[in-house]
Amino acid sequence: MAMSRSRIYPLLAEEPLQARIRELGAEIARDYAGKDLVVIGLLNGVYMFFSDLTRSMDLDFEVTFMQVASYGAGTESTGEVKILHDLDRSIRGRHALVVEDIVDTGLTLSKVRKLLLDREPASLRIVSLLDKPSRRRVEVPVDYVGFTIEDHFVVGFGLDLDGKFRNLPYVGIYNPA
């Protein structure tokens, strides 16, 4: 089956996305003012949200990334979480903020959270652009949420289907039918 943009129906347009990201950035900046903060992006899907969010945070912080995978070539999580690239700096005794594109089953984030808590940060919080609580299989605390969405497979704004559609400036629902 060929993948086509004609199968994508807009869910969150570019301007509401950007407005909410600016709000999140301002809230995070207030919460972390004067603290030693490391902002951790979970690749690959987070890259657009991460870039816009960190530019909207008016404070000093360090940036690092982890690359994790739980999806194969389809629209369902495999349930298996793989760490493909680990942090390049210590978070021990520092405040850590994990930036995620979407919280779906919670499996990926739960594993990442446990791994990071074992490294003894001063605090660990999570910000996610999208939250899909109806799909949750493992509860995981999400401290900052951009948007709560229904159970749709979404693409765009960094989110993909088999590596495609990440470059869309909006979030859309992918309908394979």
Dist. CA 21–CA 7, nearest whole Å: 26
Structure tokens, 98: 């994990």
Q: How far apart are CA 14 and CA 23, in angstroms?
A: 14
* DSSP three-state, residue 25: helix
CB-based contact 167:149 (threshold 8 Å): no
Q: Which helix (H) or strand (E) holds 63?
A: strand 62-71
Task: Tell me the catalytic residues.
Answer: 104
Q: What tokens were used for 60?
A: 């000093």
**Which of 27, 35, 95 is CA-nearest to residue 57?**
27
Q: In what order do the strands lie in the sheet with 171-174?
A: 8-12, 171-174, 154-155
